[in-house]
Amino acid sequence: MKNIFDLTGKVAIVVGGSRGLGKGMAVGLADAGASVVIASRGKEALEAAAAEISEQTGGTCVGMQLDVTSLPDIQAFIQKVDERFGRIDILINSAGINIRKSAQVFEEEDWDKVTDTQLKYVFFMDQQVGNYMIERGIRGRIINIGSLSSAIGLKNMVAYCASKGAIVQLTKALANEWAPFGITVNAIGPGYYFTEMTKPLLSDPEVMRKYQEKIPMGRLGNPEDLAGTAVYLASDASSYVTGQIVYVDGGWLIN
């Protein structure tokens, strides 16, 4: 029987793949047979992660530097991936930053920094890769990363919540425009995972205890918990699924 999750011969980009959730998803894609390009700003972390993923999966994973908050950088990056691999089938947008501050003192500069990475350039990355796919007739897969805050309003991260709420609508709007080209656009909404981003919050044992109590499955997620959903949304297994957000949160949003 055909393996509908098989990604052999596919080329995937994971922006933010050098660590955290992006890295967990990159491992999943490489394990499923895709050639994976991980992209982020920090060169050393990128090269180390690419070597680790290749070794762990026995597949192909290379690191290419990218600052996703620059359209010319995005365009040069796509050209580089094309020169190296000749096609792009899958994009996962997992770059992210957060600034935790009360809404009352949230500054204009904070707002721009967070929304640039978490919304504006998610769109431009989607747009540039989407156009690449459309021009070549590639029936690709685009996966954006939402959050619990795509559904609920969390305190002290107003720009982050606004961006992640908008990711749901961005995903639906692109899914609608690109369905005729055979391109699916979906999102994943992770719950709480211990990464560089959440370390400042989750290093507090009291916060950690409260969160574990609130999560019906009784534990935080590990980045590898996202691998299955990423492979599903990247593969033929989800060929009739588009415009959706799949929450991978141990049940947080149930109650």
Whether residue 225 contacts residue 248, with contact meaning beta carbons closer than 8 Å, is answered with yes
Q: How far, in Å, CA of 123 to CA of 181, rounded?
A: 18
Spatial neighbors of 39 by CB under 8 A, at least 6 apart, are 13, 14, 15, 16, 17, 46, 63, 64, 65, 66, 68, 77, 95
> Which of these, 124, 118, 204, 228, lies nearest to 167 by C-alpha position?
118
CB of 147 to ligand NAP, least distance (A): 4
Is the CB of residue 229 less than 8 Å from the CB of residue 193? no
CB of 78 to ligand NAP, least distance (A): 14
Among 21, 168, 183, 246, binds ligand NAP (CB under 6 A): 21
Q: Please indicate whether residue 160 is annotated as part of the active site.
A: yes
Which one of 7, 11, 12, 18 is in contact with ligand NAP (CB under 6 A)? Answer: 18
Q: Does 69 bind ligand NAP (CB under 6 A)?
A: yes
Site mask, ligand NAP, residues 186-225, x = CB under 6 A? Answer: ----x-xx-xxxx---------------------------
Least distance from ligand NAP to the Cβ atom of residue 3, Å? 28
Give 184's DSSP letter.
Answer: E
Q: Pick one of 7, 10, 11, 19: the residue that binds ligand NAP (CB under 6 A).
A: 19
**CA–CA separation, 7 and 51 (whole Å):** 20
Binding mask 142-171 for ligand NAP (x = CB under 6 A): ---x-x------------------------
The CA distance from 240 to 29, in Å, is: 19
Enclosing H/E stretch for 43? helix 43-57
Residues 6+ apart with CB under 8 A from 252: 148, 191, 192, 214, 215, 216
The binding track of 36-55 with respect to ligand NAP, each residue x by CB under 6 A or -, is: ----xxx--x----------
Q: Count residues near ligand NAP (CB under 6 A).
A: 29
CB of 2 to ligand NAP, least distance (A): 32
Q: Tell the smallest beta-carbon distance from residue 242 to ligand NAP (Å).
A: 20
Q: Which is nearer to ligand NAP, 160 or 178 (CB)?
A: 160
The answer to whether the CB of 213 falls within 8 A of the CB of 251 is: no
Instruction: Give contact residues for ligand NAP (rule: CB under 6 A).
Output: 15-16, 18-22, 40-42, 45, 66-69, 94-97, 117, 145, 147, 190, 192-193, 195-198
By annotation, the residues acting in catalysis are 160
